[in-house]
Amino acid sequence: MSATNSSESNNRPGTKRFGLRRRIIVCLAGLALTAVAGGLTTGWYTYEARTLLERILDQDMKGLSIAEQLSSELSMQKGYTTYYALSRDESHLRDLANRSDAFERLLDRAHMHPFTPVNRQAINAIDAAYRQYSIDRLQVIALYSQGHTDEGGMLHWKVRERFNKLSSMVKSLKVEQEDHIRSVVDNAKTKASTMMFMAWTAMAIAVLMSTVLGYVLIYKVLDPLRRMAQGGPATSGSSSNEIEAIGQRMHGLMNDMDRAREHAMQADKLALAGKLAAGVAHSVRNPLTSVKMRLFSLGRSLRLDPTQAEDFEVITEEIGHIDTVLQNFLEFARPPLLRKEHTTLSEVTENAVRLLKHRLDSYGVELETALSQGAKPLNADPERLKEVLVNLLLNACEAMPGGGRIRISAHNKTDISGRQLAMLHIRDWGPGIAANLLERIMEPFFSTKEDGSGLGLAITNRIVMEHGGTFTASRPDDGGMLFEIALPLKES
């Protein structure tokens, strides 16, 4: 009786049924809206984060650098007036004038930099105080020059107090700029917390909608398809081969997507880290070079007692250590430089063959070598050249998965300009590369392999060119590929 009433209720005019199609559409719409909202929020936050990072690097950090340089340049002026009063050596006045010019140039940079209004007022106050200090200092120097030592000494004490006050103002500017950067970072952390909350909320909504959609698809779509494939109702826990194949395929696709997402995120992190490392290293090395030059100049001109000389040496060594660390950052962000040494083509080739011996055997490849003319000396990086040979040999092996033959030969020749060259030929008898693609095989990211990165031959060509040589590829008439490397011999 109740079933009949329910059926009549569903068929009654004015009663709306929330059908399967509508349920799927609602779930998909909810997931789509969640994805769009999440994407827009992520895009907005990424834009804000990038803008904040650019502001910190381009404005705030440069402002802090200017404040630090102002403090450093001002402290470098200390003592020159006293040195002159004691020795009457005009060179101290010239050095003081150079330091003063450098400080005024920094003040001009500070006026042009977009500081906060508070810091701009501080810079204006520093400028005014420094100009008054310069005037009073010139009066002291004039008194000393005229022989009024007592009057000059009294005024000198007042000027020294003015210098100390000016130094405090510069240090306060630095502290204020640091506080400003800290407040910007704190604000970014607050925004990040808000973003995290929104992300978790979106994730919860997506999980809920996915659960509903999964229930609808499993019990309203897949189960009827399974019963249809089996020709009748299915027992609990069983499934058809078609459904298993679909499930396995979907599982594999999801795993591939997860790995691709992880690789993309890692690549973005490495690219950003490299960019930041290179930018920071270049920005820091410029003032660091100036500091090293100043220290070198001071080391030649100052007369230091043993304790001061030891401190000076420690400072110089630590700055050298900082410079080494920055160099490591730059090597992370750009290809390593060649480490050239005395080597030969035969030696490099033998090392590469020895490294790949088991790999060649596993491919069933027969290797022939004719390296008797490859013993002339080269000025090259053996590790980078070994990388070239390993790449070419592996490419040849992969082109002949069923086994084959590779021949490596070396000889010497003189080019049209009279330069002595060492030649290395790598020949295989594989399927080769189509003639219409030969001109493109050294282009970055171009590959004839489905899973190739397209960078192997491009990197190989770059390494050879960095050695001052040439790298060419051709397709012999009897099939396969021939790669030719020409490197300049070491001048005797």
Taking 80 as the threshold, does the pLDDT of residue 65 lie above it?
yes
Of the pLDDT bands very low, low, confident and very high (cuts 50, 70, 90), residue 237 is very low
| One domain for residues 134 and 267 | no
Q: Is residue 229 included in any domain, yes or no?
A: no
Region 484-489: what's the mean pLDDT? 91
In whole angstroms, what is the distance from residue 213 CA to residue 415 CA?
Answer: 72
> Are both 102 and 247 inside the same structural domain?
no
Indicate the pLDDT class of residue 486, thresholds 50, 70 and 90: very high
In tens, the pLDDT along 175-215 reads: 888 888 888 778 877 877 887 787 788 778 777 877 777 77
Closest to 443 measured CA to CA, from 469, 462, 427: 462
Res 64 pLDDT > 90: no
- Shared domain for 321 and 353, answered yes or no, is no
Is the pLDDT at 297 greater than 70? The verdict is yes
Please indicate whether residue 412 or residue 298 has the higher confidence score (pLDDT).
412
pLDDT, average across residues 215-236: 57
| DSSP code per residue over 10-74 | HHSTTPPP--HHHHHHHHHHHHHHHHHHHHHHHHHHHHHHHHHHHHIIIIIHHHHHHHHHHHHHH
Do 117 and 194 lie in one domain? The reply is: yes
Asked which of 333, 360, 385 is the last residue of a domain, the reply is 333
Helix (H) or strand (E) holding 486, with range, is: strand 481-488
Confirm whether pTM is higher than 0.85.
no
- Give me the sheet containing 404-414, strands edge to edge: 365-370, 404-414, 420-428, 481-488, 470-474
User: Among candidates 345, 400, 343, 344, which has minimal Cα distance to 367?
Assistant: 400
The string of pLDDT tens digits covering residues 129-138 is 888 888 888 8
Label residue 407 by pLDDT band (50, 70, 90).
very high
Are residues 58 and 177 located together in one domain of the fold? Answer: yes
Say whether both 207 and 281 belong to one domain: no
Q: What is the pLDDT, as a whole number, of residue 426?
A: 92
CATH number at residue 470: 3.30.565.10
Domain end marker among 302, 333, 364: 333
Whether residues 358 and 321 share a domain: the answer is no
Question: What's the pLDDT tens digit per position in 341-352?
Answer: 898 899 999 999
Domain membership of residue 3 (yes or no) is no
Mean pLDDT value across the chain: 77
Is the residue at 225 inside a domain? Answer: no
In tens, the pLDDT along 268-287 reads 654 565 566 566 666 777 77
CA distances from 340 to 265, 333, 412, 492 (A): 36, 21, 20, 16
The structural domain count of the chain equals 3
Q: How far is CA 50 from CA 265, 296, 351, in A?
A: 16, 39, 47
The CATH code of the domain that includes 98 is: 1.20.120.1730
Mark whether 114 and 209 lie in a shared domain. Answer: yes
CA distance 35 to 407: 56
Phi, psi of 485 (to 5 degrees): -115, 125
Length of the chain: 492
Query: Over the stretch 147-162, which tens digit does the pLDDT of each residue have?
Result: 888 888 888 888 888 8
Look at residue 391 and tell me whether its pLDDT is greater than 80. Answer: yes
> Which two structure tokens, joined as six digits, stand for 10?
């569903």
Determine the average pLDDT of the residues in 105-110: 86
Q: Using 50, 70 and 90 to split pLDDT, how confident is the model at 485? A: very high
Name which residue leads in pLDDT, 476 or 63.
Answer: 476
As a whole number of Å, the CA-based R_g of the chain is 37
Task: Specify if 248 maps to a domain.
Answer: yes
pLDDT at 188: 75
Same domain for 91 and 187, yes or no, is yes
Task: Say yes or no: 87 and 146 in one domain.
Answer: yes
- Calculate what percentage of the chain has a pLDDT beyond 70: 75
Asked, for residue 14, whether it belongs to a domain, the answer is no
What was the pLDDT predicted at 234?
Answer: 42
Residue 22 maps to a domain: no
Domain presence at residue 312? yes
Which range of residues forms the domain containing residue 328?
240-333
Give the domain-ending residue among 296, 317, 333.
Answer: 333
- Residue at 374 is within a domain: yes
Q: Residue 419 pLDDT more than 60?
A: yes
Residue 304's domain is classified under what CATH number?
1.10.287
Query: Over the stretch 357-371, which tens digit does the pLDDT of each residue have?
Result: 888 888 898 999 888
326 and 345 belong to one structural domain:
no
Q: How far is the C-alpha of 208 from the C-alpha of 195, rounded, in Å?
A: 20
Pair (160, 297) in one structural domain: no
